[in-house]
Structure 1
């Protein structure tokens, strides 16, 4: 939203100003404080509703229960996302933790950058369709298909260029982070798909089911983390990847049960992208490792290798997607979303009022 973008801009400017004023690392603290403060002020300014004094009302009990269950899920997710760091630091010390953390940060970056805006749009749109299960399932599956298209492509590209990305951004002293990241990267796409279970739970008002699945999530993830700890940071990365692949199908099946979402429909909407990513990744890796190509790539800079390998993987992935779908429909869907995101002239109010279907992700078949 505009408020979020403005708050982030002001927080960054606050950090820069404080740093120039000589506040050193406290400049980062100032920016971290400024972000929620400006967001809160902006929200109160934009939203004209002012709460009145509290009073007893039986209708608030479901709202409080919804909030508590949602908060419980957030706590469970927070523990899941930080338990691995705690275990690596405890068992192996600060240096391996530093390498692991940098690889992990790159691993979760696509989810962090995409999840907040997509969740806000998807939960709002799905909530409006909660009374129409057919349209609800159609919208969700189309959104899941587009996420699979983007996520599996990202996973394939980053698996092959991850080492060079970390080398370019952090330098040669962080090559171990690049090695760890190659074990993380194959799960980027499935992570994007897995966390859409929250969309379903929240949009149909079943935060209680969301919280219960959060308990399952942390239990399974913690079990894999403990099993992988003996193999060091690489073992922890493999544990993360394995837990995500193991949890995705049961998680989406459990979330979709109240709306009649069949797991066969989920697989049908996503399997072609998974296969396309695997085929493109194997083919690109084979081409990259041929002696002549490997020698040519070694002779150019890191940025050049990233660009060439990315183009190769992208071309192979898109070709595989087109072949498996027997057409360019997925590419047209993403292009339509990008068009929706571009600034357009404001429509007359009568036209806006006549549109009552979600537009960010097409639900037409």
Structure 2
């Protein structure tokens, strides 16, 4: 919460409200869906802790599955920020649109970062999580202090710049400990990354092509279009990954 504390000291109540509401909107996925998934992952890692190869495979698979869900949400939020804000929050919150866009772009890095602690803790290396947390406190607080000098937009840019750096440090410390090669993680995440970026580009083009209309209708069209493009991309270019995820889900759904 360092960013909110810094914003509270430097922003007027109106700008602080704009920033905190933007933060709330962009963190819906990571606050509601990631924690229960991390709890399940922690149990799995703990059972596999004496098999380094199994832990590595489990982490890569878990990260891929979560990012397959998270990336379209965040990229979609970034490219549809205006109709989402105007539909869900009303015209008086229009100032939040550029802030939501920036924060949404930072959230994939934050999501991947929060997946690191459970695996470190489960294999008996909690000190890695502590060191990562200390590094994050320094990196992010510095970014927030600097960014806040340019208002809420500057604070948004602090997220965009600070979180990739924080994630890089976290991966540098964590991956060797859990036996994951950086290239293996990159290969696992490349399909959903490209699918989400392709979806974002398509939705942006559609948004510019649409005539003026009510924001809820615009939002519905863009969400439906984005979902169709994302799924089509995965089926066309990452069919093997889709099949593997489907088999994993079916396997977990079967009773023991």
TM-score by length of 1: 0.66
Structure 1 CA distance, aligned partners of 2:111 and 2:250? 19
Structure 2 counterpart SS, 1:317: helix
Structure 1 CA distance, aligned partners of 2:71 and 2:154? 22
Q: Which has the larger radius of gyration?
A: 1
Q: Judge conservation of contact 1:200–1:256 (CA < 8 Å) in 2.
A: no
Question: 2:216 aligned to 303, 316, 330, which one?
Answer: 303
Gaps of 5+ in 1: 1-81, 353-365
Q: Does 1:337 align with 2:249?
A: yes
Alignment match, 1:255: 174
TM-score by length of 2: 0.92
Q: For residues 69-117 of structure 1, give each alpha carbon's deviation from its aligned partner in whole angstroms, at most 9, with x where no partner exists.
A: xxxxxxxxxxxxx111122221121110000000000111110111221
Alignment match, 2:31: 112
Q: For residues 3-52 of structure 1, give each alpha carbon's deviation from its aligned partner in whole angstroms, at most 9, with x where no partner exists.
A: xxxxxxxxxxxxxxxxxxxxxxxxxxxxxxxxxxxxxxxxxxxxxxxxxx
Question: 2:68 aligned to 144, 149, 166, which one?
Answer: 149
Q: For residues 211-232 of structure 1, give each alpha carbon's deviation from its aligned partner in whole angstroms, at most 9, with x where no partner exists.
A: 1111001101112112212221
Question: 1:320 aligned to 218, 223, 233, which one?
Answer: 233
Structure 1 residue ranges (4+ consecutive) displaced by more than 6 angstroms after TM superposition: none
Q: Does 1:201 align with 2:120?
A: yes
Q: Judge conservation of contact 1:160–1:281 (CA < 8 Å) in 2.
A: yes
Per-residue deviation at 1:331?
6.2
Alignment of 1:1-365 (within 5 A): 82-290=1-209, 293=210, 295=211, 298-299=212-213, 301-325=214-238, 327=239, 329-330=241-242, 333-334=245-246, 337=249, 340=252, 352=256
Structure with a larger share of its residues in helix: 2
Gaps of 5+ in 2: none
The alignment covers a number of residue pairs equal to 256
**Residue 129 and residue 316 in structure 1: after superposition, are their counterparts in 2 closer, same or farther (change >3 A)?**
same
Structure 2 CA distance, aligned partners of 1:302 and 1:133? 50
Structure 1 CA distance, aligned partners of 2:248 and 2:123? 27
Q: Judge conservation of contact 1:157–1:314 (CA < 8 Å) in 2.
A: no
